[in-house]
A = this chain, B = another copy of it.
């Protein structure tokens, strides 16, 4: 594939998706991460399914039009590398690299263990605070580690586990799965017991599910669980898994590195 820039359709696709992003707090990181993925999916030379995606949040995106430029970096026999820039006011606001590829039958097995949780119908629906506009798009049922309230004490664990689905009952696709990987609020909130300035700098997602495994999920709940490994000198990491409704199909694993002040 020649190194090429390809913009038009991506902009159109993004405009549609953007309506889901909040206005008060700027766009939801999950939508920003889903945009490059969706743009590549629509490219006529795209090979196979999403395998991996890294998104770097360079600077906030303003609530107006932007372009997405796709560069086909390398096409191999079974996989394909992409570089993407989201451009606004002639400046890159977000960039990303992605790997797409063909899947083939091989030995398989899941080694990670899903958290032991009650089903979504046995968990009370708890929303994010109202000011977090994007969260209104989701039906969220926290099993553990919901957003700390006004009188919350610091928690000893940074783990959040929740059932989540699209509030409008749309079937999950790879773009929606990408956005869901950022549904967890910053882990520092839990450990210090209140909101602090924080923002994701970079986020990487690996797609374990193939298209049929994703289609089986329909518009049902998926199970997400996230935690941090270390908080140190202004930064922490956040690692999460997204499991299917059956609690045994690992759909995606994701990591992010986050800036915080406290």
| Interface residue ranges, A against B (CB under 8 Å) | 51-52, 54, 56, 58-59, 73-74, 76, 78-79, 81, 83, 91-92, 95, 97, 99, 101-112, 157-158, 188, 191-192, 201-202, 204, 206, 208-210, 227-235, 237, 239, 241, 250, 253, 255, 257, 259-262
Residues of chain B contacted by A232 (CB below 8 angstroms): 103, 106, 108, 110, 208-210
Q: List 15 A-B contacts (CB under 8 A).
A: A52-B202, A54-B54, A59-B76, A73-B92, A73-B95, A81-B95, A83-B83, A101-B234, A103-B232, A104-B234, A104-B261, A106-B231, A204-B255, A229-B241, A239-B239
User: Is B58 in contact with A229, judged by CB distance below 8 angstroms?
Assistant: no
Shortest Cβ distance from A262 into B: residue: B107
User: Is A51 in contact with B235, judged by CB distance below 8 angstroms?
Assistant: yes
- Report which of B81, B228, B253 forms a contact with A56, defined as CB distance below 8 A: B81
How far apart sit A51 and B201, CA to CA, in the bound complex (Å)?
A: 10
How far apart sit A110 and B228, CA to CA, in the bound complex (Å)?
A: 8
- Secondary structure class of chain A's binding surface, majority of residues: strand
User: Is B97 in contact with A74, judged by CB distance below 8 angstroms?
Assistant: no
Shortest Cβ distance from A82 into B: residue: B56
- Report which of B59, B79, B92, B230 forms a contact with A208, defined as CB distance below 8 A: B230
User: Is A52 in contact with B97, judged by CB distance below 8 angstroms?
Assistant: no
User: Is A106 in contact with B233, judged by CB distance below 8 angstroms?
Assistant: yes
Shortest Cβ distance from A80 into B: residue: B58
Residues of chain B contacted by A255 (CB below 8 angstroms): 204, 206, 253, 255
The 5 closest A-B pairs by CB, nearest first: A103-B233, A112-B229, A58-B74, A54-B54, A107-B262
Shortest Cβ distance from A241 into B: residue: B229
User: Is A204 in contact with B235, judged by CB distance below 8 angstroms?
Assistant: no
